[in-house]
Amino acid sequence: MMIETAPPDFDDGADTQIRACLNPSAPRSFFLYASAGSGKTRSLKNALDAFRAEHGALFRRLGKKIAVITYTNAAADEIAERVGEDSLFPISTIHSFCWRHIETYHRDIQEWLLNTLPTNLAELREKQAKGRAGKASMDRERAIASIMRRLEWLSVPRRFTYNPNGDNYGQDSLSHTEVLKITASFIETKPSMQAVLVNKYPFLLIDESQDTNKGLLEAFFTLATANKGKFGLGLFGDTMQRIFLDGHPELERLVPVDWARPVKRLNHRSPQRVIALGNVLRAPIDSQSQVARDDSEVGFVRLFVAPNGILDKPGFELHVRERMATLCCDSDWRNGPAIKSLTLEHHMAASRCGFLDMFQALDRDSRLSTGLRTGELAGIRLFTERVAPLIAVARADDRFAVMAHLRATSPLLKRVVIANSPTPEDPLQPIRSAVDALLALNTEQSSTTFLSVLKCIAEHQLFEIPSALRPFVLGDLTVEENEQINDDDEPDSEEESVGQSPSSLEAWREFLETPYNQTIPFSEYVSDRGPFGTHQGVKGLEFERVLVILDDSDARGFLFSYDKLFEAKPLSDTDRKHLSDATASGIIRTRRLLYVTCTRAKKSLALVAYTENPDALIAAAVRNHWFTIDEIERL
């Protein structure tokens, strides 16, 4: 396939446009459209370097800054490393930035909570009135009581705390999502908040803007419109690579016509054949296309097709690697660590890695989905970051590591608890009993559920229980223990911010009844230590050799379906109805995810497709000009 090529400086004009927008005398908002491998972070660095040289002295003298915010700590660290530590350019995650600007508004925060919580309470009560007696009903009753206690706590003036980089325990803590919602509300309704932001940060640059929380992004647009001529909002992103559900689905249409729209088309990462595939994949979505560097390699792409009923899929994938090693004359295709295997969707990885039950349970509630995919839900982190490491070092009989871990995480080793120990002659006896009880559960067995582990933790008060999980154990505690835990009864992470909604309670209940031994493969997966990755985990990253696995039988078909994308399965009436709607179409979602995974490849790319209709899939792949017939191999 032919593709346009260009010299490495092809996109320098986009950088010039951005520098012109960052003019303190005439700030202008902009949206940089930067596709896969186009050097978005490089443009950000170049813009800040130029600003520092031209206007840095003035801004330092006036006490003004350019704020740079992004989605994750890892992304913030990468930008800081590239740009260099400079107080002129504070770089932070979106959560850190938001908290920094609302942390003194205690009275307003309290008012917001008092206006919001009753709505959550009403939703629960309505569900409770319609529901049947049983576990779910008991869970809702406890959640109702939890919200009522929180409202009672809010009946007098309070102050609030928040940790953007971890769990938030304590009655005065806000959740991650609450911080985003409160900030958006304050920006839109409080002129004083707008004035503070604009005076301190005449420019606000948002990395990965397509994944920035929808409500907050709309608030920033309001800020930019109201302060045109004295404030500039800069968005860096690619709508084709939107992967999180809380990102804005109509970002392009939201950008005002008077904004600058620099575009970066040159792909510095991938070979020509991979870029050509990316272009044809995104063509139905937008008018953007990429060009290859004139010094780039042609590259290598292959599609391997197998029937869905094949018994040994791992064996077939080994065969694919062997074929790629031969076809590419690249022996590293035989070397597992040299290959990045990517699945189109998390359910595929969950099925292959062994944590499907726990994943499906929580993924039923869309409000938990983002935190689930990043592993940041406090209800999960209790098991992945507290319980699992403790069990590992305790089984290794590493007493020093056990105590070090517990000192950092367990309330049983707080000074006040030890000072008031029920066994003063042996104050560490409760902690030993708790660890022994945990080890006695045989957590390696699939019969041991998360609920069994949770009840053990609660009984011995080994760790603080996130409020999303408290409704499931409070009934098993004594009155005194209930009172102690209820002192901390408030949402402490994204999943709790939904106010213990009925659907969230049901999802957590189902999760707790799944095997605890799925914790380790899940933890390895979300931390990218496992054998598989997905589009969510690798966006922005690049790999020499990429193996993309397409398998609808391991995915949740109503959200994603590569078989429908490849025309191997007929579209449903709903598919046809929503095909023109980028926010609702599973076909468009699947196309977007396939684009992200394929464009990670720096050298060669193999796709493995399992399907019930190989003939139709191959015919569509050729007809749509995704692959030539010579690039397709069938089992």
pLDDT tier at 489, thresholds 50, 70, 90: very low
pLDDT at 555 over 80: no
C-beta of residue 304 within 8 angstroms of C-beta of residue 317? no
CB atoms closer than 10 angstroms to residue 418: 14
User: Annotation-wise, does 501 bind a ligand?
Assistant: no
Mean pLDDT on 446-452: 95
| Of 10, 84, 78, residue with least CA distance to 41 | 78
Percent of the chain with pLDDT over 70: 88
pLDDT at 497 over 70: no
Question: E strands along 359-448, which residues?
Answer: none
In-domain check, residue 170: no
Mean pLDDT on 364-375: 77
Residue 219 has which token pair?
């608030």
517 and 568 co-located in one domain:
no
Q: What is d(CA 527, CA 521) in angstroms, rounded to the nearest whole number?
A: 10
pLDDT tier at 324, thresholds 50, 70, 90: very high
In residues, how long is the chain?
A: 635
Put residue 208 in one of left, alpha, beta given phi > 0 → left and psi -120 to 50 → alpha.
Answer: left
pLDDT tier at 484, thresholds 50, 70, 90: very low
Which is more confidently placed, 616 or 502? 616
User: Annotation-wise, does 299 bind a ligand?
Assistant: no
**Which CA distances in Å does 569 have to 246, 376, 488, 500, 553?**
29, 35, 51, 39, 13
Q: What is the pLDDT of residue 304?
A: 98
CB atoms closer than 10 angstroms to residue 630: 8
Which is more confidently placed, 588 or 205? 205
In-domain check, residue 292: yes
Q: What is the pLDDT of residue 480?
A: 36
| Of 213, 283, 253, residue with least CA distance to 595 | 283
214-226 vs 176-189: helix axis angle to the nearest 10?
A: 20
Put residue 625 in one of left, alpha, beta given phi > 0 → left and psi -120 to 50 → alpha.
Answer: left
pLDDT tier at 61, thresholds 50, 70, 90: very high
Q: Is 130 helix (H, G, I), strand (E, B) or coil?
A: helix
Phi, psi of 234 (to 5 degrees): -115, 120
pLDDT tier at 571, thresholds 50, 70, 90: confident
348 and 314 co-located in one domain:
yes
Q: What is the pLDDT of residue 478?
A: 35
User: Annotation-wise, does 36 bind a ligand?
Assistant: yes
| Of 241, 254, 174, 186, residue with least CA distance to 214 | 254
429 and 350 co-located in one domain:
no
In-domain check, residue 167: no
CATH code at 318? 3.40.50
Domain count for the chain, please give it. 4
pLDDT at 74 over 70: yes
In-domain check, residue 143: yes
- Single-letter residue type at 430: P
pLDDT tier at 474, thresholds 50, 70, 90: low
pLDDT at 531 over 50: yes
In-domain check, residue 166: no
pLDDT at 43 over 70: yes
| Of 184, 170, 182, residue with least CA distance to 492 | 170
**Neighbour order of strands in the sheet with 266-267:** 5-6, 291-293, 266-267
Domain that holds residue 139: 113-159
Q: Which residues contact 426 (CB under 8 A, 6 or more apart)?
A: none
- Single-letter residue type at 382: L
490 and 507 co-located in one domain:
yes
Dihedral (Cα; 588, 2, 546, 321), 10-degree rounding: 120
515 and 559 co-located in one domain:
no
Q: Is 617 helix (H, G, I), strand (E, B) or coil?
A: helix
CB atoms closer than 10 angstroms to residue 217: 23
Q: What is the pLDDT of residue 581?
A: 56
In-domain check, residue 242: yes
397 and 487 co-located in one domain:
yes
329 and 206 co-located in one domain:
no
**Which CA distances in Å does 450 have to 360, 389, 427, 586?**
14, 15, 28, 32
pLDDT tier at 499, thresholds 50, 70, 90: very low
Q: What is the pLDDT of residue 386?
A: 95
CATH code at 187? 3.40.50.300
C-beta of residue 340 within 8 angstroms of C-beta of residue 547? yes
Percent of the chain with pLDDT over 90: 55
User: Annotation-wise, does 401 bind a ligand?
Assistant: no
97 and 195 co-located in one domain:
yes
Query: For the purposes of burial, counting CB atoms within 10 Å of the CB of 608, is it exposed (0-12), middle (13-18) or buried (19 or more)?
Result: buried
- Model confidence pLDDT, tens digit, residues 271-286: 999 999 999 999 988 8
Handedness of CA 167, 171, 172, 177 (dihedral sign): positive
Q: Which residues contact 337 (CB under 8 A, 6 or more apart)?
A: none
Domain end (from 480, 506, 524):
524
User: Annotation-wise, does 585 bind a ligand?
Assistant: no
Q: Which residues contact 189 (CB under 8 A, 6 or more apart)?
A: none
Q: What is d(CA 521, CA 531) in angstroms, rounded to the nearest whole number?
A: 10
102-115: string of b/e by CB count within 10 Å (b at 16+)?
beebeebbbebbee
pLDDT tier at 494, thresholds 50, 70, 90: very low
Which is more confidently placed, 351 or 612? 612
In-domain check, residue 171: no
Q: Which residues contact 162 (CB under 8 A, 6 or more apart)?
A: 99, 103, 168, 173, 174, 179
415 and 443 co-located in one domain:
yes
148 and 93 co-located in one domain:
no
543 and 586 co-located in one domain:
yes
454 and 534 co-located in one domain:
no
User: Annotation-wise, does 37 bind a ligand?
Assistant: yes
User: Annotation-wise, does 34 bind a ligand?
Assistant: yes
- Model confidence pLDDT, tens digit, residues 376-405: 888 999 999 999 999 999 999 999 999 999
Domain end (from 524, 554, 585):
524
Q: Which residues contact 388 (CB under 8 A, 6 or more apart)?
A: 519, 520, 523
Mean pLDDT on 55-64: 96
Domain end (from 245, 267, 289):
267
| Of 553, 538, 547, residue with least CA distance to 350 | 553
C-beta of residue 70 within 8 angstroms of C-beta of residue 208? yes
pLDDT at 85 over 50: yes
Phi, psi of 65 (to 5 degrees): -145, 165
In-domain check, residue 164: no
User: Annotation-wise, does 340 bind a ligand?
Assistant: no
pTM, two decimals, is: 0.77
